[in-house]
Structure 1
């Protein structure tokens, strides 16, 4: 049954479902025209896309692309696209700015509206902002891995294995997850990759009639942008890569992130202790850690309405990436210890919602299509090493561990960057635990002439048009609108740690 549609909106969907809903938006071209660049025709949007403030408008369409780009006349899938037109005069217009919110697995269709609302006015006036759901996500041939080895069990098993039996069960769950993805995703398994999405981006550029791809990619979006720059360096326009994923394998990235989360969590404990009168968890970081451990242990032993240790770790993982989430986390721990109530720790969107299921499936499918996975022995060795550093790590972000058992292992990693690409602007928070700043420094070497903007004394993920920092936003806007590339790396003063509400 198709989802409900508000008046004046159309439903976007994968090529295999509800195809008729696209009949007036983006008819599939005949096979002989597979290499052509059909124009994108826009109409109304699905409910998942919010309406922008008047007088702006958002419109949606779709583009058919090959499932396998090496077989342009073969099976095709449909990529959902959204657009908020530039608000300035024709003389102010600079082109189309494609945006990606991260993941892999994040839906970009609504992002054209939500991110555009935060962009500096000069950027909004200069660019049509283009969102799209990358292949495998939401409305673009969504990946479906079914039960994913028990990932959506509630409460789930403790995600930190201790001892031989738990380690064996941990590896078994990864093996079952890989089997579930192979069964659910089927023939698309090797084709839901970053490289293929980069080619989809260029097809969107061509369908829009643009000579260059201007791009703003956040988190995984930075990895996607770097992949585009490798394959299409001469079509890169102005590109901003924010909260940069480094040029490592996905598994190496996940391991680095898990270690950075330990550092960030220690900062959270110290911050909470400094505000002991507000949170009541103790005035020493060791006291706060003890409260944290008692919460996790209690939930592991006696889950509350399906909320156990694994669910707690997911909440912690999400909170550590943005300092504005620290206060709710500390309040949630206090409330649980005082009342046994986990309401303050639960996410607003259930982990097993349809959107979350698609995200989790696309995340693993893309990561495992992007390069060879680790061996099971290495996974266990890294978990043991992390536990030696801290006996209670947060392993929620270790998605690429599944790739050890993947049914289609690519021969090489996704290539990133090119010396032939024009200067790119990289943006990073100095203490971001989700995408450590070393990734931006290393990727810069693969994009000669690029410049790095560092937001110092900041501990959050997502910087440009996100942290409200004038230094970052004005420098980036000047680059996007006027093409101004800083002579040197840019250093901006961040906000420091937040003050909690009374």
Structure 2
């Protein structure tokens, strides 16, 4: 029952009447309140109507049902100029490709669309297609992770023959990453400072030194990129996917997003709901958390992942980190805070060690390599860890350092700005709670402090009437907590959780069970049962 403004009317028997202002009115007021049972919020009872004197209860409104799984649709007449690039791709991956796997590359030209200047500029994006199928399946990776082209090529090597016969897996280097107008604007000294900064620093004086590198980086990137700078974000990457769909000339966009790349797909679903095809989110950040909440959740996730890594190593008779790997690594990080390891490639500081560990933990297949690299560092040889962390600070092959695009995209997507004095308090709290990864997570909050605040936050994924969208939740993902992925599935009106009890960043292509379930969804339209659990 509705509450009317107190100054204008009262309610008796559901009928609004002028409010009495006499003593009688004052005496009757408590009785009127009791009679009307007017609540502070909306009634949860179903609406009541009367017809021919009979009371009828209208049915409660039901949320819209998910749309059916979209058809694969026609292959379309591709307008992109694809060329063979198997040799260069194999060299970049550092591992051989199946000669039967067709690998081609192309370029996509899209509108730059900088804020305030929507008609100015263009962006050139690199594409890679792997597979012989006729239907495009676009994959999107994290802005700070492996470039999308290599992500697609590597994923193709782990997919079933049925998937590769049905789809062409197409990866796109997101703006500023890989070969897509790469963002290479952070000065080398500042890049080393960002990657290698002391992960245990909690005092204001130390963090002020990091702030100087952050300020220098933002100034240089602004000078180098000018009005292109704010156009490197998730909102415009979603528009890039729509332009790619149009160039591929297909009615629906079938896609897979890993990690933060999942936010590109949920943003796409909000902007272009009519063209959403079969989509999968492989580890998705919690859309309801702000930057601070995500940072704390990620620190906890990384600690949990390291515990799984430590348990796995200690269970092996030849574990190079001894019976207590966590203790060994904590001691190593503490020593390198004051005595970095010198290598021909780069200095390996405590911060570089921690960031290298997050990279190594992201791929379960690389855990033995990570354990051996940490053991070598414990003996004074930092070269193996320097190679692991190199993609962040020095790049690899023809690909630029990843940290530049990660910095720009993260800060363009984040509206929260935390003052430096508050960051020191947060760092102290998180270092105590999360001894290995808390400090590094807190430093991310400082990165964006000097960055222009974006004009609008990313939209919440709430578009009604979408088809079912499976969301893979990985138990020990160092970058995306399992709970965050489940929250994303709950937020999506048509989200379906698929749990993997394993470890690493993303389950598709890593877990046979997850990969099979997702393949059946993409190929046959078979939606995994809600809450399906795949073993580690």
Note the residue ranges of structure 1 that are not aligned, 5 or more in a row. Answer: 1-36, 88-92, 495-502
SS of 1:214's equivalent in the other structure is strand
Asked if 1:82 is matched to 2:122, the reply is no
Partner of 1:65: 110
Q: How does 1:43-54 map to 2 (within 5 A)?
A: 43-45=83-85, 48-50=88-90, 52-54=97-99
Looking at structure 1, the residues matched to 250 and 304 of structure 2 have their Cα atoms a distance apart, in angstroms, of: 44
**Alpha carbons of 1:423 and 1:280: their partners in 2 closer, same or farther (altered >3 Å)?**
closer
Range with greater deviation from structure 2 (211-220 or 179-188): 179-188
Asked if 1:366 corresponds to 2:404, the answer is no
Once the 2 structures are TM-superposed, how far is the Cα of residue 484 of structure 1 from its aligned partner?
A: 1.5
Matched with 1:436 is 481
Equivalent pair of 1:148/1:177 in contact (CA under 8 Å): no
CA contact (8 A) 1:135 1:197 kept: yes
1:296 aligned to 333, 341, 344, which one? Answer: 333
Cα 1:226–1:272 shift into 2, 3 Å: same
The counterpart of 2:359, out of the listed 318, 321, 336, is 318
Pairs within 5 Å for 1:180-219:
180-219=220-259
1:86-109 CA-partner distances (Å, limit 9, x unpaired): 34xxxxx5x210012323464112
SS at match of 1:257: helix
Q: Does the residue aligned with 2:340 lie in a helix, a strand or coil?
A: coil
Distance 1:143 1:48, change over 3 A: farther
Deviation at 1:353, TM superposition (A): 2.5
SS of residue in 1 equivalent to 2:155:
helix
User: What SS does the aligned partner of 2:254 have?
Assistant: strand
Match of 2:208 in 1: 168
Q: Deviations over 1:157-194 (max 9, x none)?
A: 42331333213223333333322322232211111111
Q: How does 1:387-426 map to 2 (within 5 A)?
A: 387-393=431-437, 395-396=439-440, 399-406=444-451, 408-417=452-461, 418-426=463-471
The one-character-per-residue Cα deviations of 1:240-269 (angstroms, maximum 9, x if unpaired) are 110222213345323311122223334444
2: CA distance, partners of 1:444 / 1:155: 33
> Is the CA contact (8 Å cut-off) linking 1:64 and 1:78 kept in structure 2?
yes
Which one of the candidate residues 190, 211, 236 is aligned to 1:150? Answer: 190
Displacement, 1:475?
Answer: 1.6
SS of the aligned residue for 1:65 comes to: strand
**Alignment-derived partner of residue 490 in structure 1:** 532
Answer whether contact 1:451 1:490 (CA < 8 A) is retained. Answer: no
State the alpha-carbon separation in 2 of the partners of residues 280 and 354 from structure 1.
28
- CA–CA distance in structure 2, aligned partners of residues 315 and 461 of structure 1: 14
Q: 1:73 to 1:251 in 2, by over 3 A?
A: same
| Pair 1:243 & 2:288 matched | no
How far did residue 199 of structure 1 move? 0.4
Please say which of residues 361-370 and 105-114 is displaced more in the overlay: 105-114
Deviation string 1:5-43 (CA, Å, 9 cap, x unpaired) is: xxxxxxxxxxxxxxxxxxxxxxxxxxxxxxxx9932222
Name the TM-score, length of structure 2 as normaliser. Answer: 0.75
User: How far off is 1:488 after superposition?
Assistant: 2.6
What is the distance in 1 between the residues matched to 2:140 and 2:107? 16
Equivalent position of 2:155 in the other structure: 115
Superimposed CA distance per residue, residues 216-237 of structure 1 (whole angstroms, 9 cap, x where no aligned partner)? 1111221211111111111110
- Seen in structure 2, the aligned counterparts of structure 1 residues 392 and 465 have a Cα distance that, compared at 3 Å, is closer
- Contact 1:373 1:401 (8 Å CA) reproduced: no
Measured after TM superposition, the shift of residue 47 of structure 1 is 6.3
SS at match of 1:441: helix
CA distance in 2, matches of 1:465, 1:104: 19
Unpaired stretches in structure 2, ≥5 consecutive residues = 1-76, 91-95
Within 1, Cα distance between the matches of 2:416 and 2:121?
27
Q: In the alignment, which residue of structure 1 is the partner of 2:166?
A: 126
Distance 2:489 2:472 in 1: 11
- Tell me how far apart the structure 1 counterparts of residues 245 and 353 of structure 2 sit (CA, whole Å): 42
Equivalent-residue separation in structure 2 for 1:178 and 1:123 (angstroms): 43
SS in 1 for 2:107: strand
Give, in whole Å, the separation in 1 of the partners of 2:297 and 2:155: 28
Q: Distance in 2 between matches of 1:289 and 1:348?
A: 19
Are residue 478 (structure 1) and residue 523 (structure 2) matched? no
Whether contact under 8 Å (1:264, 1:320) holds in the other structure is: yes
Counterpart CA distance in 2 for 1:487 and 1:347 is 41
Task: After superposing the two structures, state which structure 1 stretch, 141-150 or 229-238, moved more.
Answer: 141-150
Residue 379 to residue 411, structure 1, CA distance change in 2 (3 Å): farther
2:257, 2:265 within 8 Å by CA — same for their partners in 1? yes
State the shift of 1:215 in Å.
0.2
Is the CA contact 1:105–1:362 (under 8 Å) kept in the aligned structure 2? no
Deviation (angstroms), 1:300? 2.8
Secondary structure in structure 2 of the residue aligned to 1:347? helix
**What corresponds to 1:353 in structure 2?**
394
